[in-house]
């Protein structure tokens, strides 16, 4: 599962960069900021930056 893989990478590296695919953006009908925050919440991570359709997450403290 993608969320579990992202969770493992956050645990291992402390910070990850994620790109939102066009098909996902279109299907969710939400802003980039909302999508990034939604994923950060699922991972219990801190949203550090949103730049275009790429965002950076930091392991939650």
How do residues 6-35 score in pLDDT, each as one tens digit?
A: 999 999 999 999 999 988 888 989 999 999
Q: How far apart are CA 53 and CA 29, in angstroms?
A: 14
CB-based contacts of 36, cutoff 8 Å, min separation 6: 18, 20, 47, 50, 55
What pLDDT is attached to residue 33? 94
User: What's the CATH code of the domain at 45?
Assistant: 3.30.110.60
Tens digit of each residue's pLDDT (9 = 90 or more) over 31-40: 999 999 999 9
pLDDT per position as a tens digit, 41-50: 999 999 999 9
Q: For position 26, what pLDDT does the model report?
A: 86
Strand partners, 43: none
- Domain hosting residue 11, numbered range: 2-59
The tally of domains found in the chain comes to 1
3-state secondary structure of 60: coil
- State how far the Cα of 37 lies from the Cα of 29, in Å rounded to an integer: 14
Rounded Cα distance, 31 and 25, in Å? 8
Residue 61 pLDDT greater than 70, yes or no: no
């Amino acid at each position: 599962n993608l969320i579990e893989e992202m969770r493992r990478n956050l645990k291992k590296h402390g910070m990850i960069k994620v790109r939102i695919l066009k098909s996902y953006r279109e299907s969710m009908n939400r802003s980039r900021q909302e999508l990034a925050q939604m994923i950060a919440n699922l991972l219990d991570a801190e949203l550090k930056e949103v730049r275009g359709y790429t965002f950076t997450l930091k392991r939650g403290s």
